[in-house]
Amino acid sequence: MKEKRTSLDDIAKKVGVSKATVSFVLNGKGDEFNISKEKQALIKETANELSYVPNFFAKSLRQGSTKTIWVVLADISNAFYAELCKTVQEQLYEKGYNVFIVNTSDNKELEQTLMRELIQRSIDGMIISPSNKIDTLIPILQETHIPVVFADRPGDENADFVGVDNYKEAGSLVHAFSKKPKKLAILVQSNSHVVTLEERIRGAKDECEKSSIDFELVSLSADQENANSTISALLKNGVDSFLALNNVVALKTLGGLKSCNVQMPENIRMISFDDSEAFSFFEPGISALRQPIQEIGINSVKRLLSRLSETQTPGEHFMLPCEFIQRGSH
């Protein structure tokens, strides 16, 4: 049977002092309240002897702050979010905050349930990369006064956001090929409807139309054999350039191109919107747009800390520049 948790009363009774005296000492205020050094030492020794553990929630209520931030991510298995999470945690830890990570697996219903549970807890703020669009999340966010910063995936014009301009960056990649595409395949994951990819699709399509570039928008299967068949059909249909709108799709595309035994960049050219450490090991290396993941994390934390001290100012959007890494495949 679980033993009863040691309380301030237990320590006070054993030492023979008031509960308030024990509280003052254990909160580092013994000198302030003129409690003798001997008495302070005895109280601390007794607390250790009885394995006293402070009540986190009671302490938080007294201080008006939990020093706790929740980070809600769409897919922690994605290298992008793993690095973002690591950066956010390191930055907040340096500032004295505890960080708890919540993974939604891009499940919109789970995200709504978890967010409602989180805002009912005693937390100071939240950094979120949402699966849902802002119109779905507004009713939940209105239930809380805690500061929220959107990272990578935006909220709306009134919500704090740190990320990149997916529309503009995707459009710029249409012109990054060493030769103007005769026919461009814009590749996305099947059944993917997140706002960042929607913006990338829109940016690439608009730029193709402005530049009179023939293009085809293709949903690539997660199954490699199906992906290989799709790539083969695209090649037969005259596609000579491939723009993968994230690195997961890029790897599937590379598998398809390898199965067709085509040479880059002599016959086929390819660019990935997201970079990957693996891309430098291919021959030729895969040219890619590198997002500033660490900078997104650092600036998300900065904005959240500012928001914790000032909640009345309108939300701001911080758009960070990307870097095009030329490796030879384009």
The domain that holds 34 is classified in CATH as 1.10.260
- Residue 210 and residue 256 in one domain: yes
How far apart are the C-alpha atoms of 232 and 240, rounded to whole Å?
Answer: 12
- Residue 159 and residue 299 in one domain: yes
Is 228 among the domain residues? yes
Is 107 among the domain residues? yes
Residues 6+ apart with CB under 8 A from 134: 154, 155, 156, 159
What global pTM score does this model have? 0.76
Question: In total, how many domains does the chain have?
Answer: 3
In sequence order, the β-bridge partners of residue 242 are: 185, 270
pLDDT tens for the chain, 330 residues long, are 345 667 788 888 888 888 888 888 877 788 888 888 888 888 888 888 887 766 555 555 455 456 788 888 888 888 888 899 899 999 988 888 888 888 887 777 777 777 777 766 667 888 888 876 776 777 666 666 778 888 998 877 778 899 999 999 999 999 998 889 999 999 998 766 778 888 999 999 999 999 999 999 999 988 889 988 998 999 999 989 999 998 889 999 998 888 888 888 888 999 999 898 888 888 899 999 999 999 999 999 999 888 887 766 778 889 999 999 999 898
Q: pLDDT tens-digit profile of 146-190?
A: 788 889 988 777 788 999 999 999 999 999 988 899 999 999 987
- Residue 159 and residue 303 in one domain: yes
152: left (phi over 0), alpha (psi -120 to 50) or beta: left
Q: How many CB atoms lie within 10 A of CB 3?
A: 6
Q: What are phi and psi of 148, to 5 degrees?
A: -130, 130
The domain that holds 245 is classified in CATH as 3.40.50.2300
Is 59 among the domain residues? no
- Residue 223 and residue 275 in one domain: yes
SS (H, E, C) 90-128: HHHHHCCCEEEEEECCCCHHHHHHHHHHHHCCCCCEEEE
- Measure the CA angle with vertex 205, ends 200 and 210; round to 5°: 130
- Residue 126 and residue 26 in one domain: no
Three-state DSSP class for residue 217: strand
Taking Cα atoms as reference points, which of 236, 247, 197, 195 lies closest to residue 217? Answer: 197
The domain in which residue 45 lies consists of: 8-54
Contact by Cβ (8 Å): 88, 59: no
Is 2 among the domain residues? no
- Residue 274 and residue 221 in one domain: yes
Is 330 among the domain residues? no
Is 327 among the domain residues? no
Is 149 among the domain residues? yes
